Amino acid sequence: MLAIIGGTGLTEMAGLEVDKRHSAETPLGAASAGVVQGKLRGRDILFLARHGHPHKLPPHRVNYRANLWALKQAGATRIVGINAVGGIDPTLQPEALVVPDQLIDYTTGRESTYFDGRFRPLKHIDFSWPYDNDLRDVLVMAGKQAGETIEDGGVYGCTQGPRLETAAEIARMARDGCRLVGMTGMPEAVLARELSIPYACLALVVNPAAGVVESEITMAEIEAALENGIERVKRIVDALLTS
């Protein structure tokens, strides 16, 4: 079953006919919310609000291990994470949609594996290509079907937050090859891989990253881009279900 992890601006799926609300409890503690199972456009889907519903958990306090476990428990076989991001590539305007093909993890101190020698025995998994290519293709196709422009590819840099970055940090990330910066892409992607669930990210640009333009980043501009952008994300999710 397809699962959507909704990020900032997407704490519930409008139009979802709810069949079941799964418990948020897992062997790894509580997920951000219970996984909601239901039908959208007649198709079964799972939905999880990454930050809880209502939005309560900052990116560094999300229990990603519990979230991914809860989705697996609920029967997820494919996961699309929706992530609000800053655009490092200056060609990416607010409201642009991107399906990244690579990531760099700049986070620190997050519980980022099941194979830590305590919960499960130590194991080193391959993560050369962090996103599932088939699911990425399906997402890009769904965008086309929905009449939305989606950029295919790019490196997502995941920072710790919750503060935004300095201009120098963004300049360094640009030198590293990052096109996008967000705070929630990791360890979500790696935990999905550890559970062998195909995972892809649909990133919505909500602001130019620090120093990309001269002005400061304001919550007002982020919220405006989120409001319009999330409507486009929803159309893509609809197309994803009917494709």
Q: List interacting residues with ligand HPA (CB under 6 A).
A: 84-86, 159, 164-165, 181-183, 206-207, 209
* Residue (6 or 182) nearer to ligand HPA, CB: 182
Shortest Cβ distance from residue 208 to ligand HPA (Å)?
8
Shortest Cβ distance from residue 171 to ligand HPA (Å)?
13
* Residue (63 or 159) nearer to ligand HPA, CB: 159
* Residue (169 or 238) nearer to ligand HPA, CB: 169
Shortest Cβ distance from residue 210 to ligand HPA (Å)?
6
Residue nearest to ligand HPA (CB): 86
> What is the SS3 assignment for 142-194?
HHHHCCCCEEECCEEEECCCCCCCCHHHHHHHHHHCEEEEECCCCCHHHHHHH
* Residue (190 or 206) nearer to ligand HPA, CB: 206
Shortest Cβ distance from residue 102 to ligand HPA (Å)?
17
* Residue (131 or 156) nearer to ligand HPA, CB: 156
Angle at which helix 133-145 crosses helix 219-242, to 10 degrees, equals 100
Shortest Cβ distance from residue 226 to ligand HPA (Å)?
9
